[in-house]
Structure 1
Amino acid sequence: MYLKQLSVINFKNYEEAGLTFSEGVNAFLGNNGAGKTNLLDAIHYLSLCKSYFNPIDSQQIKQGTDFFIITGTFSKNDKQEAVACSVKRNQKKQFKRNKKDYQRLADHIGLLPLVMVSPYDISIIIEGSEERRKFIDNVISQTDNLYLDELIIYNKVLANRNALLKMIADTGRYDPGLLEILDEQLITSGSRIFEKRKAFMEAFTTIFNKHYQFLSDDAEQVELIYESQLLNENFAALLKKNIERDRALERTTAGIHKDDLQFAIHGMPMKKFGSQGQQKSFLIALKLAQYSFLNQQKGFKPLLLLDDIFDKLDDQRVTKLMQMVSNHDFGQVFITDTSDARVKNIFTHMGVPIKLFKVKAGEIDA
């Protein structure tokens, strides 16, 4: 699968732009703020129906205009896939595939899989557990369209249970029958999500370890561990054990919404003891493992988007990374960088053809 053409109108800092891509490596080159990353984000919209950086669609509309349109033509299994996303201020987002509207955006997720690597990914390491759960959910959702539905159900029931706990605290009226119904719904949905996360992490960890060891040349020992309360106790028992605590805190304190990933280097937390280069290598290995997992599950190569990935990586890790992304294990690749010379030298040295796009203040010169 690869993206043949992309066009944007009134998207972020672009008034209008149209690009035709190589099936291999494509690079957007220019100064910071020129709009390189915005092109990657437009591609992300076509794959996952949303921005990678900002969940508010209306904030992607170019200043002084009332709408944006992103269109793309993909080649997949020798067939053309035309995808279009449009947003007008104060109106619902429209998303079309081959000129047909989607009833649910969730039905598009996974059709055109994509992996994005960005400096913003550092939040996976340094922020709270929600960022790490999002990472797991993003990967599984692109391979299992029922998983996203299950997550939606779980979060709705969780919100209802928390509202009931607050109402009990506010009014003093305890309705064990209603709480039991919500518990049953939460257990059913949560247990399904847990089993899928557990199975995913068992397969994913092996792939991750392989990628990190290649990137670091076997110089560092890292660990990726899935943590869940459900690994040690079934969900029903957890809810029953924690009911008094839940009532006191007015929220549900046990469940898969507390799942986390533990990242370690040489047995110590990566967040505190990993250098910037080691943290970035860890993140890149996570994303490349995501790519490999999607490739295995889908049976074709996803798109790979690398935003400003050379920063804070030493030359050895950069070379290793470029060796990986330019070989037959990866398909179409999009890269952003501020240095023309660096990108040209890397790929010329490896004998890999690359298509260059010069970006300056929302204008593109191919």
Structure 2
Amino acid sequence: MFLKGLEINNFRNFEHAQASFSDGLNIILGKNAQGKTNLLEAITICALGKSYKNAKNDDMVMFQRNDFFIRCSVHNSSVDKVIEVYYKKGDKKYIRVNGTSVQKISDLFGNLNVVVFIPDDLKLLKQGPSDRRRFVDMDLVQIKPDYYHNMLQYFRVLKQRNNILKNQKQYDMVKIWDEQLAWYGSRIVKERMAFVDKLSKAIKRVHPDFMPEVGKVQINYLSTVKKTGDLERNYREKLRESIHNDIKFKTTTCGPHRDDIVFLIDGVDARYFASQGQQRSLILSLKLAEMEIFRESIGEYPILLLDDVLSELDSERQRSLLSSLSNYQAIITGTHIQDDLFICGKRYLVDSGQIKEF
């Protein structure tokens, strides 16, 4: 899979811009606040239906404009596809794939797969559990067709259960929702556990050559529900055991919405004992491991989007990173790159909402 071209209109600071991409390395250069990150954001909207920044639709419309339009041309499994996203203020977002309207966002997933790095990802280890869950979920909705549906249903049921805990005294009605919560929740946990296990194995293969200063890495999924045996049954039992706490705190205290992922380096929690350099190396290795999981799961690599990663690395680590990307299509933003580090692919300059190849 690779992104052939991008066209945007009235998006962020771009009135109109378009670019064609190499199926290898693409470097987007420019000073800060010129729009480099906006290009990556536009690509993720075509992949996921929304901004990876969780930005509001109105905020992405260019100043003093009423709508935006994004078109991505993709080569996917020997098939060319065109994904178009149109949004007008006060209306919903319209998405089409090869001219056919997408009625459910889950039907968009898989047409353009992406793995994204942003500078905030360097804080992933120290951020809250919700950020680590979101990182796993963003990959799984692209890889597993049913995962997004299970997530939607789980949170619908969870909302109903929590409403009873908050607003009513008829707590016996909570049990009405427990069966559905256990059914959807156990499937989410099962997929996350399998993904994290694959991630733990993949990162062990990736990081020794890429970032040798990181020791032995292990990634574990921490579940509020017993992980061995029948997950659905375990979930139902945990809900029964937790009912008194749920009533006390007026919320559901167990389930995938409470789970976490822990990263270990040489057997110790990287949140507390890894140096800043080790944490940076671990996160970048994590992105390459994600790429390998996509290939193992769907038979091809996604597109790797790296925002401002070069500024975080010295020249030796820049060289190591760029040399490790030979198997992928990578689109990387930055303020500069040494000429001797750029071997092949394309370079672009972004300046005041304009992009051109050079």
Q: Under a length normalisation based on structure 2, what TM-score does the superposition of the two structures give?
A: 0.93
Structure-2 separation of matches of 1:146 and 1:238? 24
Whether 1:199 aligns to 2:194 is yes
User: Following the alignment from structure 1 to structure 2, what is the Cα–Cα distance between the partners of residues 182 and 236?
Assistant: 10
Is 1:335 paired with 2:326?
no
Does 1:236 pair with 2:233?
no
Shift of 1:270: 2.1
For the pair 1:362 / 2:358, whether they are aligned, the reply is no
| 2:175 matches 1:180 | yes
Partner residue in 2 for 1:95: 95
Q: Distance in 2 between matches of 1:219 and 1:111?
A: 34
Whole-angstrom distance in 2 between the partners of 1:103 and 1:247: 38
State the Cα deviation string for residues 216-273 of structure 1 (Å, max 9, x = none): 2265233321110223571112111111111011001111211101123344432333
Matched residue SS, 2:311: coil
- What whole-Å deviation, never above 9, does each CA across 1:171-205 have from its counterpart, x for those lacking one? xx3241x2211111111111111122222222221
Q: CA deviation at 1:159?
A: 0.9
Q: Which runs of 5+ in 2 are unaligned?
A: 229-233
Tell me the residue number matched to 1:157.
Answer: 157
User: Structure 1 unaligned runs (5+)?
Assistant: none
Residue correspondence of structure 1 range 101-112 to structure 2 within 5 A: 101-112=101-112
Query: C-alpha displacement at 1:79, in angstroms?
Result: 2.5
Matches within 5 A, 1:43-62: 43-62=43-62
Deviation of 1:123 after TM superposition, in Å, equals: 4.1
Q: Which residue of 1 aligns with 2:231?
A: none
Q: In 2, Cα distance between the equivalents of 1:175 and 1:278? A: 48
Alignment match, 1:290: 290
Secondary structure at the aligned position of 1:248 is classed as helix
- The one-letter amino acid of 2:37's match is T
Distance in 1 between the 2:225 and 2:8 partners?
45
Q: Is the 8 A contact 1:161 1:179 kept in 2?
A: yes
Distance (Å, rounded) in 2 between the aligned partners of 1:302 and 1:53: 19
Range 280-289 or range 29-38, more displaced: 280-289
User: For the residues of structure 2 that align with 1:254 and 1:275, how far apart are their CA atoms?
Assistant: 32
8 Å contact from structure 1 (residues 123, 131) kept in 2: no
Opposite residue 360 of structure 1, the aligned amino acid is: D
Change in Cα spacing, 1:219 to 1:264, as seen in structure 2 (3 Å) is: closer
CA distance in 2, matches of 1:129, 1:226: 11
Alignment of 1:73-84 (within 5 A): 73-84=73-84
Secondary structure, counterpart of 1:142 in structure 2: helix
Partner of residue 265, structure 2: 265
The root-mean-square deviation of aligned C-alpha atoms, in Å, is 1.7
2:67 aligned partner: 67
Q: Distance in 2 between matches of 1:218 and 1:304?
A: 23
The residue type equivalent to 1:215 in the other structure is: F
Structure 1 runs of 4+ with >4 Å offset = none
Percentage of matched positions with identical amino acids? 33
2:256 corresponding residue in structure 1: 256
Aligned match for 1:346, one of 332, 341, 345: 341
Paired residue total: 352
After TM superposition, the score normalised by the length of structure 1 is: 0.92
| Higher deviation after alignment, 228-237 or 46-55 | 228-237
Aligned to 1:14: 14
Q: Is the 8 A contact 2:214 2:278 kept in 1?
A: no
Letter in 1 for 2:276: Q
Instruction: Report the counterpart of residue 119 of structure 1 in structure 2.
Output: 119
